[in-house]
């Protein structure tokens, strides 16, 4: 598994793709949070907190994570190297996990520079340092789990086509549906209890809970279970492809 992991990381940073994707994430965040006027602009918001960043980041990652994972298995399918990987002394599960951890690590690398925002916001407050760090770290914690789910979805999407663009689009659609789809469906019902039940199947509801600094075991179980579910589907798909 570790060999697959190293191969994934090396393949991204030996080409401009990895730098381009990470740079695009940081650029988009920076523009929306500090430059473009609007709802996400921190100066227009009027409060020295990172709430807008954690509202914006899940939507950017809907596109960023599939861009990172689209080549995971699509490239192997296109070049015919998947069969070679499968006959090596490595289980299909270790192969899937190596790809998963590679994509997840790249997303974490993209997030690391955003810790500068914590320092900047802390300095911008009327009282310097008056920032609720519990909420900030809770929000980052929730974002890590959400990214893990997106990564598992993206890796699965990459097994569905040998065309990277198609895998990218499928990944976006699946991530969008998991994050916002149930929220949209719930709006079709008038009963508050029904709406809450349907929302509970979506990642947005659970992410909002964790992002508020409330670490509920149910939210963590939701993200872990959903990630494992898509990783299991990935493994089953690989076994199907190599029969």
pLDDT, residue 100, reads 94
Using alpha carbons, list the distances in angstroms from residue 137 to 71, 83, 153: 31, 42, 24
Q: Are residues 55 and 40 in contact, defined by beta-carbon separation less than 8 angstroms?
A: yes
Euclidean distance between CA atoms 193 and 197, whole angstroms: 6
Residue with tokens 């940073």: 13
Using alpha carbons, list the distances in angstroms from residue 239 to 169, 182, 232: 23, 30, 11
Range of the domain at 133: 1-241
> Residue 84: exposed, middle, or buried by beta-carbon count in 10 A (0-12, 13-18, 19+)?
exposed
pLDDT, residue 202, reads 92
> How many independent structural domains does the chain possess?
1
pLDDT, residue 79, reads 81
Q: Is 189 left (phi over 0), alpha (psi -120 to 50) or beta?
A: beta
pLDDT, residue 208, reads 83
Block means of pLDDT (10 residues each) for the chain, length 243 residues?
A: 80 79 85 77 67 84 92 84 72 88 90 83 62 76 92 95 92 95 89 87 88 78 95 91 73
pLDDT, residue 174, reads 96
Euclidean distance between CA atoms 219 and 227, whole angstroms: 12
pLDDT, residue 65, reads 93
Euclidean distance between CA atoms 152 and 189, whole angstroms: 30
Q: Which residues contact 150 (CB under 8 A, 6 or more apart)?
A: 61, 62, 65, 66, 107, 175
């Amino acid at each position: 598994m570790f060999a697959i992991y190293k191969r994934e990381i090396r393949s991204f940073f030996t080409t401009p793709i990895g730098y381009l994707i990470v740079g695009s994430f940081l650029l988009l965040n920076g523009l929306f949070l500090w430059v473009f006027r609007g709802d996400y602009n921190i100066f227009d918001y009027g409060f020295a907190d990172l709430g807008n960043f954690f509202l914006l980041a899940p939507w950017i990652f809907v596109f960023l994570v599939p861009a990172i994972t689209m080549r995971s298995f699509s490239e192997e399918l296109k070049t015919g190297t998947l069969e070679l990987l499968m006959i090596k002394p490595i289980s299909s599960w270790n192969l899937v996990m190596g790809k998963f951890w590679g994509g997840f690590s790249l997303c974490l690398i993209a997030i690391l520079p955003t810790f500068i925002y914590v320092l900047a916001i802390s300095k911008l407050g009327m009282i310097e340092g008056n920032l609720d760090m519990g909420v900030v770290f809770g929000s980052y914690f929730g974002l890590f789990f959400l990214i893990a789910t997106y990564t598992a979805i993206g890796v699965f999407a990459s097994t569905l086509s040998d065309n990277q663009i198609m895998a990218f689009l499928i990944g976006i659609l699946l991530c969008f549906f998991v994050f916002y789809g149930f929220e949209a469906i719930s709006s079709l019902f008038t009963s508050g209890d029904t709406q809450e039940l349907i929302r509970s199947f979506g990642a947005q509801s659970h992410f909002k809970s964790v992002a508020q600094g409330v670490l509920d075991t149910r939210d963590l179980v939701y993200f872990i279970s959903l990630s494992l579910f898509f990783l299991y589907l990935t493994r089953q798909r690989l076994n199907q492809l190599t029969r």
